[in-house]
Amino acid sequence: MGVKYQHQEINMLRLLVLACVCFGYSTAVKVLVLPQNMNSHILYHARIAQLLANEGHVVEMILPSSAKIPDVIKGSGVGILWYQLKNNMTFSNTKEASQMISEGIMEKWQFQQLNRKITFMRTLMKYWDEECGALIKDESIRAHLSRVRYDIAIADTTTLKCHTSLLYSMDIPVVLFGIMIMDWILRVPSLPSFVPSSMSTFGDSMSFVERLQNTFMYIMNGVVFILLTTDSLPDIDPAIPVLEVFNRCELYLLLDDISISYSRPVMPNIVYIGDAIPQPGQALPNDIEDFVQSAQDGVILVSFGSYFDYLPPEVGSKLCSVFKRLPQKVIWKQKNKTLCDADPDRMLLLDWLPQNNLLSHSKVKLFISHCGMNSILESIYHSTPIIGFPTGIDQPLNARKVVNLGLGYEMNLRDFSADELFSKISDILSDETILRNVRRASEMMRNKPDKPEKRLSYWIEHVVHYGSSHLKTKAYELNTLQFYCLDVLLVIMIIVVVTGLFFMWCLKMLSKTLMNYVSIKQKFD
């Protein structure tokens, strides 16, 4: 479909920046941004693209034909490079995806839940593979990438093979952008005694049983890691093993912040940029602003993310019964407008929410959320407490952090009661401890010695100009046995066993000698 820049006024400052890039008198670099085709991923990649463009870098972003241009990059100077999808559809935005997730959540038995999740992931992977093929085979995109010669690209870890396959085939250095630290893959030393597995719901203070379970999860993650990294990237000659992708990766941008994360070891090439996603609030659309201003007791914001727009009827009815009893008004991201037979003056159901701007409003008192990382960051940035209903992926861990850090409550969509939710809402709005914790976390997120856009720009420029070898440990050169010293432990175990056997042999020989001595002595006596 070609490259398309957003309409904007090209002023003298921008012309000067572009001239400096051309003649080499600037630290500005050419950056390509490749998000996964999911609304939340597109949004935070767009925010990164906007910040880099504002810092004077030349930024372009690859999007599928089914995506909408995020508001945050309109007029920012970020170029858009489109590729055409066969059905021009984003699976994560469909009713089918929402129903598959809701059916999995509502299953009572763990085995059935797991089976539903596997079915959903298989369906999702099928769509991702189709999208990947459309991207990699798009000749206009390849021609454009060859012509522009980007200094660096920021790629989504969710579609690791697809994006890196394209980028490495074009000799473009890669920065990875993800929502969690993948310990095995990034070669980060993490003890399961105090670092919860990314797929667990444990905190950083665990009982013996939890540490045992956490250790088992780490081992399972390691097995999955080994299975995923045994093959090579497609469409690259010579073939590149998947593990080599991380060895070559210049940086790992982490969508997290110290204000909402557990203390843990990290490596120098891991950069926290969670505070780059939220931003100061802007004016709301007139109809939403009028609704918010009319709420004398404040507003409760409700959103379960882009994957969960269609709730099971039993869940929807319980939520509606609670919202009707509240003195606060409710703004709810919900496509099913017939879900609640409610007074439109009390409850506003919308297909889309200006979430960041709403959370910044002084009248928004509470956020009922699925606990996606975008939502957590924006909510804490704007000092809004959270009631979390996690639905999957990283959300259960995020919801547990909310509870452990005293920022809100966690509930289960499958078995919560209306009275329980009503009680939680009443409690959290009057809980001074939670409100104080949220304000403290907000101050921590905002009060840093460097602005997130400066930090992001600095590290991108740094690896473009100096490379990243000095930021990486030699752990990337070790295989799994060497990294965890399993070979050393094996040798130690062999030494211990051999020493033990030798000691037992010595005791046996000594015993035998003594018995012979006693026997001979008895004969002479």
pLDDT digits (tens, 9 = 90+) for 383-437: 999 999 988 778 888 999 999 999 999 998 888 999 999 999 999 999 999 999 9
Residues contacting residue 318 through CB under 8 Å, at least 6 positions apart? 416, 417, 418, 421
Find the angle CA(236)-CA(226)-CA(180) to the nearest 5 degrees: 90
Q: What is the DSSP string of 303-351?
A: E--TT--S--HHHHHHHHHHHHH-SSEEEEE-S-TTS----TTTEEEES
Residue 420 in contact with residue 324, Cβ under 8 Å?
no
pLDDT of the residue at 358: 95
Question: How close are the terminal C-alpha atoms of the chain, in Å?
Answer: 108
Task: Work out whether strand 2-5 and strand 79-83 pair parallel, antiparallel, or are unpaired.
Answer: antiparallel
Find the angle CA(60)-CA(371)-CA(294) to the nearest 5 degrees: 95
Residue pLDDT, tens place only, 482-513: 888 889 999 999 999 999 999 999 998 888 88
pLDDT of the residue at 189: 85
Cβ count within 10 A of residue 510: 10
Q: What is the DSSP string of 56-67?
A: T-EEEEEEETTP
Cα separation, 301 vs 384, in Å, equals 10
Task: Mark the ranges of the chain whose per-residue pLDDT is less than 50.
Answer: 5-15, 21, 23-25
**Closest CA relative to residue 331, chosen from 283, 364, 284, 373:** 364
Q: What would the CATH number be for the domain defined by 2-89+130-278+451-476?
A: 3.40.50.2000
SS3 372: coil
pLDDT of the residue at 13: 45
Cα separation, 424 vs 410, in Å, equals 9
| Confidence (pTM) | 0.85
Beta-ladder partners of 61: 33, 80
Q: What would the CATH number be for the domain defined by 286-446?
A: 3.40.50.2000
Cβ count within 10 A of residue 440: 16
Instruction: Tell me which residue has tokens 């009680």.
Output: 423
User: Any idea where the domains of the chain sit in the sequence?
Assistant: 2-89+130-278+451-476, 90-129, 286-446
Cα separation, 112 vs 107, in Å, equals 6
Cα separation, 59 vs 40, in Å, equals 20
SS3 281: coil
- Which H or E run contains 508? helix 486-524
- Which H or E run contains 184? helix 183-186
Q: Which long-range contacts (CB under 8 A, 24 or more apart) does 184-188 make?
A: 184/221, 184/222, 184/225, 184/480, 185/225, 185/229, 185/243, 185/246, 186/246, 186/252, 186/267, 186/270, 187/246, 187/267, 187/473, 187/475, 187/476, 187/478, 187/483, 188/265, 188/266, 188/267, 188/270
Look up residue 237 and give its amino acid: D
Q: What percent of the chain has pLDDT over 90?
A: 43
pLDDT of the residue at 10: 40
Residue 261 in contact with residue 380, Cβ under 8 Å?
no
Cα separation, 410 vs 362, in Å, equals 23
**Closest CA relative to residue 51, chosen from 500, 364, 494, 453:** 453
Cα separation, 396 vs 382, in Å, equals 22
- Beta-strand runs (E) in 119-159: 152-156
Instruction: Tell me which residue has tokens 């839940």.
Output: 113
Asked whether this chain's domains 2-89+130-278+451-476 and 286-446 adopt the same fold, the reply is yes
User: Which strand ranges, in their side-by-side order, compose the sheet holding 58-64?
Assistant: 2-5, 79-83, 58-64, 30-34, 152-156, 174-178, 251-254, 270-272
